[in-house]
Amino acid sequence: MMSWRTLVSRLAPLLACLGLLGIWQIGALILDTDSFPTAIDALRAVPSILTDKESLINILASLRRMAIGFGVGVGLSIPLGLMMGRSRAVASFFNPLLMITYPVPKAALMPIIMLWLGVGDLAKTLVIFLGVSLPVVFHSFQGARAVEEKMLWSGAAMGLSAGQRMLRIVLPSALPEILIGCRTGLVLALITMITSEMIARQSGAGNILFNALDMGQYDTVFAMIIIVGAMGIGLDAAFEQLRKRLVRWSEPRFDLPLSFS
Amino acid sequence: MKGRVLTSDVLLGIAPIALMIAVWQALISFGYAPATLLPPPGQVFMRLVRQLGNNEYQQDIAATLFRLFAGFAIAVVLGVGIGLAAAASPAVNAVVRPIVRVLAPLPKVALYPALLLLLGFGHESKITLVVADALFPILLSTYYGASMVEQKLIWSAMAAGTPPRQILFKVVLPAAMPSVLTGCRIGLVISCIVVFLAEMITSTDGLGHVLVTAARTFRAVDMFVPLITISLLGLILNGLLQWLRSYLLRGFPEV
Amino acid sequence: MIEISGVSQVFQTSGRQSHLALSNISLTIQDGAFVSILGPSGCGKSTLLYIVGGFVAPSQGTTRVKGKAITGPGPDRGPVFQEFALFPWKSVLGNVMYGPRQQGVSSAEAEAQSRQLIEMVGLKGFEHFYPKELSGGMKQRVALARTLAYHPAVLLMDEPFGALDAHTRTRLQNDLLNIWERDRKTVLFVTHSVEEAVFLSDKVVVMTRSPGRIKRIIDIDLPRPRRRAELLLDPHYQKYVVDIEGMIDDTSEDELHP
């Protein structure tokens, strides 16, 4: 039997969504301009986008690029970060490079990469990969660096080789921190995807947004914003569920992402 | 001994950057990449130096910096304010928490078209986008820091006669300062990135606009220059904040 | 005079369970007395101190200081915590000056007073150090000075020397007694060390473990000023320690047979 209190706290994010949509609705009614449709109008336009074949293909292609970019990014960044965390030489080799590339807007590389690789999937996926990598490397690095030295000594005493220690001690102990990096990386992958498509203006969800803007289909603009927003919230919530399962043993941490770090 | 370790660290750190530039130069020298696609590093550097002295380019930098600072400043005020309020009052917390939970993972850049429609193509829409993106890391780390303040620190101040309404600014905020500044640092880098992207998507001035104009006319050299400029700006601002941080947190352990 | 009458404290633990931490505590402490509260960990002795401090409201009962009911913290009761709780962003001088400045003392006056106190606790020359640069014993000296600076009538000491090594602990006990001999403030001192309680106190309150009740109140009739070297050889002191340790042992036995 769930008490009234826990019910409210479970539903709080949903209530917040409804509240924000309500504010939007009221704001739009007060402003009353064509360029700012009400929340209800925008929501009504959502199904028509999702049933339109071309838009759907566009959005799914975006998501596919994002999945590949994220997957490759995570796959390469975690080992790099872990090695940086356990070896001073590796860390001092890569750290300045990462520091310099940190404030570079990854999506801004889009025009240059397009110049080299054309406007195909490769360029867009590469940009997403670059966007995902930094936070994952950084958090894996932090996680691996914080591993208790004595735990590794115990491992060595039990006869684990260096590689086994990395896989069986460093990786699991750094996992909570790594997953925080992955969560940030996931949100960043979505952001980079949308932004690069907005800049390239070729295809994808970001392009639909700006095409609709140019053609004055304001309902579609706001409906797309809802779709992209829902993707972000949905992906984040799904990842958070996965994270909770994987690191049930770890200390309960702050449950909101300090994204971008 | 310690000095030698540090020097070798620095040398190791310079190595990949030097290597990158060497490969870059080699690609051109050995004819793998035409200069139209990948201009030689020397040329990019010369152009950067010349552009930095150019009045028009300086105005673009100024436009970018203005949006960046305006957005960042608003984000700091809002983020620290809301974060403190949420940590201090359960009622505010109950409202703010779910809203933040919904809005924090939202890709804010998707709101940009809506901001353009509502606020126009000028400074306002870009500044608002910067605020929307930089706000959450600052808000969250302020909230986190403020709710982690040691209870006995607050009790000590109360016993010394601090009235309850002053506790927030005399104890909670200073005690949460390390966390607040971490959030600000993240927010600052995000501001740099976002302002540049917004200018690339639609603008008539600013560094992002310089990049897009160069891209339209396939002038590769001019595409690298604004990118390097924004990274340098990011590094300089980050350095300044780091300096401010070590000054403000001089009393705290392990800065 | 501190009057604690019929104080009970119930904590809500997870779900609908509740935990009785203090049960019906009544205790009167005369002005200028040094009273220790002694008990096994988890007996609620710190909670009792927090209630007198006004940091925690009791579930039942009342506490009065000089006839006035306690409704919250106030500068008449100064706490010294085991965790020091110094403001990390303030120097030693800044920490000690905090109280007087809150009381509206002028900056120059507060600084003069604070420098004097810092000298008294033996930290002359460390005024501009930050807490992170000090050892544990030095931090606790600063915390004591910070509390003394706003002239509380009552000192509430919550296992103040519990986190210090044995040597530092002994030195601080001696110094605390020396400072106390000067103005004889009322001190309520929570500890789990029997020797410490007997060495310092006029009265030792022995508590039982959960729920915390007062088991015995023992008057320590030893001459003052006390010298550690003499006291350790004094059969009266030894008898107090052995007797009280016996009482604590009893309460520990109770825990084993709930």
Q: What is the pLDDT of residues C38-86, one digit of tens each?
A: 988 778 899 999 999 999 999 999 999 998 999 999 999 999 999 999 9
Spatial separation of the C-alpha atoms in residues B204 and C109, rounded to whole Å: 60
Portion 209-238 of B in contact with A at CB < 8 A = 211-212, 214-215, 218, 220, 223-224, 227, 230-231, 233-235, 238
How far, rounded to the nearest angstrom, does the alpha carbon of residue A51 sit from its chain's CA centroid?
25
**Is the model's pLDDT at B4 over the cut of 70?**
no
- Which tokens belong to B191? 């501001």
- Which tokens belong to C95? 């920490």
What does the pLDDT read at residue A137? 94
State the best of B156, B248, B255 to mutate against chain C, taking most chain C CBs within 10 Å. Answer: B156
Same domain (yes/no): B161, B193: yes
- Please report which confidence band the pLDDT of residue B65 belongs to, taking 50, 70 and 90 as the band edges: very high
Nearest CA distance, B156 vs chain C (angstrom):
7
Spatial separation of the C-alpha atoms in residues B10 and B17, rounded to whole Å: 11
Same domain (yes/no): B5, B27: yes
Give burial (CB, 10 Å; 0-12/13-18/19+) of B98: buried
- Please report which confidence band the pLDDT of residue A260 belongs to, taking 50, 70 and 90 as the band edges: very low
Model confidence pLDDT, tens digit, residues B145-173 = 999 999 999 999 999 999 988 999 999 99
User: Tokens 């590796």 belong to which residue?
Assistant: A90
| B174 within a domain of the structure (yes/no) | yes
Same domain (yes/no): B113, B194: yes
Q: Does domain C1-76+185-258 have CATH number 3.40.50.300?
A: yes
Same domain (yes/no): B22, B44: no
Nearest CA distance, A29 vs chain B (angstrom):
14
C198 or B9, greater pLDDT? C198
3-state class (DSSP) for residue C18: strand
Q: Read off the pLDDT of each residue in A62-89 and give the average, rounded to a whole number.
A: 93
| B216 within a domain of the structure (yes/no) | yes
| B191 within a domain of the structure (yes/no) | yes
Domains of chain C, by residue range, sit at 1-76+185-258
Per the structure, the complete domain to which residue B13 belongs is given by: 1-33
CB contact under 8 A, C89 and B157: no
Backbone angles phi, psi at C179, to 5 degrees: -65, -40
Name residue C14's amino acid: S
Let me know: does C197 contact C244? Beta carbons within 8 Å: yes
Instruction: Return the CATH number at B238.
Output: 1.10.3720.10
Residue in chain A lying closest to B220 (CA): A112
**DSSP state for residue C221 in the 8-state scheme:** -
Size of interface B-C (CB pairs under 8 A): 75
Same domain (yes/no): B187, B62: yes
Spatial separation of the C-alpha atoms in residues C245 and A201, rounded to whole Å: 81
Let me know: does A44 contact A104? Beta carbons within 8 Å: no
Which residues in C199-251 belong to E strands, given as ranges?
203-207, 214-219
Spatial separation of the C-alpha atoms in residues A89 and C199, rounded to whole Å: 56
Which residues in chain A belong to E strands, given as ranges?
none
What does the pLDDT read at residue A38? 87
Partner-chain residue, chosen from B114, B182, B200, that has the shortest CB–CB distance to A221:
B114
Domains of chain A, by residue range, sit at 37-246
Mind giving me the DSSP string for B130-156?
Answer: HHHHHHHHHHHHHHHHHHTS-HHHHHH
What does the pLDDT read at residue A256? 44
Let me know: does C87 contact B174? Beta carbons within 8 Å: yes
- Please report which confidence band the pLDDT of residue A253 belongs to, taking 50, 70 and 90 as the band edges: low
| B255 within a domain of the structure (yes/no) | no
Same domain (yes/no): B125, B206: yes
Name residue A158's amino acid: M
Contacts of B232 by beta carbon, 8 Å cutoff, 6+ apart: none
Spatial separation of the C-alpha atoms in residues C96 and C107, rounded to whole Å: 12
Conformation bin of residue C184: beta by default, left when phi > 0, alpha when psi is -120 to 50: left
Least confident of B128-137, B238-247, C9-18: C9-18
**What count of Cα atoms within 13 Å lies in the side-chain half-sphere of residue A128?**
25
For the domain spanning A37-246, the CATH number is: 1.10.3720.10
What does the pLDDT read at residue B231? 86
Supply the mean pLDDT for chain C: 90
Partner-chain residue, chosen from C73, C74, C88, that has the shortest CB–CB distance to B252:
C88
Is residue B16 within 8 angstroms of chain A, CB to CB? yes
What does the pLDDT read at residue C251? 55
- Which tokens belong to A84? 């940086």
Greatest mean pLDDT among B11-25, B51-65, C203-217 lies in B51-65
Partner-chain residue, chosen from C79, C130, C131, that has the shortest CB–CB distance to B156:
C79
Same domain (yes/no): B83, B177: yes
Conformation bin of residue A160: beta by default, left when phi > 0, alpha when psi is -120 to 50: beta
Q: Count of domains in chain B?
A: 2
CB contact under 8 A, C72 and B161: no
